[in-house]
Amino acid sequence: MAAKFQKPTGAFVAASWAALLVGAIVFLTGLWSASMQLNEKGYYFTILMYGLFSAVSLQKSVRDRLEGIPVTNIYYSLCWVSLLLSVALLAVGLFNATLAGSEKGFYGMAFLLALFGAVAVQKNVRDMAAHKSDTPGLADEPDVA
């Protein structure tokens, strides 16, 4: 039996998208303007993409299990390992980087904000889809936004 979830408020949806976009854009803007080698920029960009993907995949796996949709233990564990690995790789990269402490904190906080935003956006998308399919008459209407 699927769990029932409330439709997220417009304010929470907006805040979630803002967290994702602000975190990712600030992180990427910092990379763009940084005076580091291109391979270092590529490393941090790849970690951001890996972290966002693993966070969304973990959120989906947790939610699938909550709704009774089968998720294998190995995939669920892989999602956790991937998320933790992306955070660890960022931490190791920043620890060893020749950046000022404020820059390291800047990248770390922007990364974590983007991860939080990605999880919240995925949750909202899932909640709104579940609410729409549970509400008679809404499932047949086209999306306006």
Q: Residue 92 pLDDT more than 90?
A: yes
**Residue of 61 and 129 predicted with greater confidence:** 61
Span 65-94, average pLDDT: 95
pLDDT for residue 114: 96
The whole-chain average pLDDT of the chain stands at: 88
Residue position matching structure tokens 């409330």: 6
| CB distance 139 to 76 below 8 Å | no
**Residue of 2 and 50 predicted with greater confidence:** 50
Q: Residue 121 pLDDT more than 80?
A: yes
Span 23-41, average pLDDT: 91
pLDDT for residue 67: 87
Banded pLDDT at 137 (limits 50, 70, 90): low
Kindly give, in sequence order, each residue whose CB lies less than 8 Å from that of residue 19, ignoring residues fewer than 6 positions away: 113, 114, 116, 117, 120
pLDDT tens for each residue of 36-78: 899 999 999 999 999 999 999 999 999 999 889 999 999 999 9
DSSP element (H, E) containing 39 = helix 38-66
pLDDT for residue 9: 87
137, two tokens? 């008459």
DSSP element (H, E) containing 139 = none
Distance CA 27, CA 45 (A): 9
Instruction: Give DSSP secondary structure letters for 67-119.
Output: TT----HHHHHHHHHHHHHHHHHHHHHHHHS---HHHHHHHHHHHHHHHHHHH
